Structure 1
């Protein structure tokens, strides 16, 4: 019998595992590690959302099976959000489906629209599910540049002309995880025109739509472009916007054919999120949005403290315009180590955990991702460790790190 099942063989070893193992070992030795690795919001879900959950869970009727595609009030609330925020009209019955987080939605859509031998265009680096959701479904991923500019557009056009069979879909994710880059509305117009020309589906991951730091440069939706609904589905999430990561509540919206395919697959796999969670999500979308503004201000403050401190320590890291991450180029002195080696050394010497860029694709190996998921006191503690590490003689040979 084969050692591994076919789909498992297509998944490489989990890149983050080495750093996670080292982190667990350090904590077992009672070391105080400042964990800036995982994009896991550390602040509480707003009280009015929690209160609505508690209220709904008191009703025994909500304990029954829910609806796989989402309760009607939730789908309507998401459509209203798109209308308010982007000026996009959505039909809650045919153009919206609730998902168990955007990650589940992407993976299930991959199952719905992919066949073995299909090719999907995926930016490199990008969030792992963008590629591996389709690989698990049996498709192949072809890397394209991650920058929202002519370089990406030209690569898409080239991939369509030179791939056999022709690609069926492409992934975009702006604000990006991990790079924090934003796309302009003009870029989306060119992207939609190109997708329509080549009969490509666009799958847009907009999970960080509300984490931005300049009111004059708010993230756009691909669906704002006229004609985009003919080829686009967009995924959003409650996780980051309302500090609800563990609640697992997300959405897909856009092209009715793709939405129908996703809903059909989901109908075989789940009965939807627990109804009280969906009711609370309605309260989040329809209720006061002060909490979202407060969340943005919190991440902006943390960003400013961290970027300023890193610059003072001699690490030139750009300040992101959006998202909850810094995409930090590895300092020249340590670049030979690669992102995994550098992350392990940073953990050992500075007591700070970050995510190695290799985990987001081979073209991310020159960077590490730093998440804004600790308070300013802990960030300053991390900065002291990083400054001591960078200004000391801490470069270790690759062989020594690999032995660890």
Structure 2
């Protein structure tokens, strides 16, 4: 986890350098209104990186200037980090632009109002978790007692989720309709999707950003079939629980099963089945053959598990398929609808209309909007999009036993701080439950 910690703080350092530079420019030219606007954009971006640190590590240092010395870097409580992220976003939003960040143009890939609204909705949705300074005792604050101020109105955290979701809806975001609309969010040319709110712009020649998720999941020979050289690591796959949720092997699986996973035999871009280079047989993924540990003699090991399909394979990708044109989707509108549905239910109201929108889009039958069904829907709709761990923690199911893994301890909801990081800064202490 040290790579993740260093990655996030690396961007925070860059944000702090930019904020400090803009502050000096503002002092030299106080009549120029743009410096404060640019500062707000960078502050909101920095808040996003702190949001991820809050979510994963809970107790982290808050560093607001590039001039801060290591000896002055102190560890904040989880609640303090939560309040910092909240404050930074609230103070930045009024100066952010209304433009759509996923549309090509001046604000493409930049922090705009809708992206900040989305982060505020996530912050409010998880407020019970993020204000819990002792996550090992299984007792959390009550969301109805956690207050947000949206505009001039004070609200509890569930009301705030709804309010920020409404602001995103009113900003012109909507679902792309049909199964083709679902997949268009992840197409090679997915710029300008009316559903995508915030993306990582990807272009093999312009940005050199890498997306290794497809590469990690697909078999070596699938990568070769698409001309990606060694563009397949034959790694990450779906869990047995995910396959059951999608109804794999049943008469009526969820319509998103084949939009999300490779299952069974796989065809290459030429329309022919991919051939295993080792045996000359047709490659066939085995979704229910996943195991925690495989015996070396188990021939199903290399084909076990459903693999990631959601992002369209880009035939023009470089670096063995790791540098495609598909923008990587971080925030999208379907998530907003499901956040709002969940918040309404937690606040004693109905989330049926929002849940229906998400399911109707792909032709899935109606189900009652309960919290259990919302959690399941978040898997069906948002698989591979990076929210499942957070969702399971919020629903108090992260530590439950699953196939081949017994129930785990509550302290594992938060990642450990790497020993190398602790050695560099003695002001930091290890998170509860882990060895120092």
Short-chain TM bin: under 0.3
Q: Which has the higher strand share?
A: 1
- TM-score by structure 1 length? 0.25
The answer to which structure has the higher helix fraction is 1
Q: TM-score, normalised by structure 2?
A: 0.23
